[in-house]
Structure 1
Amino acid sequence: MFLKEYCMDITRKTTECKESDKNMGRRVMCPEYSINQIDVKSFPKEERGEVFILLWNIEAGGHLAATIKPYPQEFIYQCEYTPGITTQLHTHDYIELAYIVEGKFCQRIMGKDILFKKGELCLIDKNCPHQDFLEEADSVVLFIGLANEIFDEVMVRNIEEEKILNFLQTALMKQKNINQYLHFKPKNQEDGTLERYLLGLVQELETNDTAAAYICKGIIMRILHHISTEYEFNLSNEERKKMKWLIFEEVAKYIGENYRNITVKELATRFHFNEDYFNRLFREKTGGTYLEYLQEVRLKHAHRLLRTTDESVEEIAEQVGYQNKGYFYKIFVDRYGMTPAKVRKKTDAVKQLMN
Structure 2
Amino acid sequence: MNKATLKEARIHGNARYPISIYPIVCPPDEPLLDLHWHDEMELLLVTAGQAVFRVDATDYEVAAGEAIFVASGDLHSGSVLGSEPCSFIAVVFHPELLGSGAIDLTLEHYIQPIVQKKRIAPVHLTHAVPHAAELLTLLETLIELNVQKPPVYELTTRGMLLLIMAKLYMLTEGPAPAQRQRSTDDYRIERLKSVLHYMHEHFSEPIKLSQLAGLVSMSEAYFCRFFKEITAKSPMEYLNQYRMQQAAILLRETDKKMMEVALDVGFNNLSYFIEVFKEHYGNTPAAYRRKGPVD
Q: Which TM bucket (shorter chain)?
A: 0.3 to 0.5
TM-score by length of 2: 0.46
Larger radius of gyration: 1
- Greater relative contact order: 1 or 2 (C-alpha under 8 angstroms, separation 6 or more)? 2
TM-score (structure 1 length as normaliser): 0.39
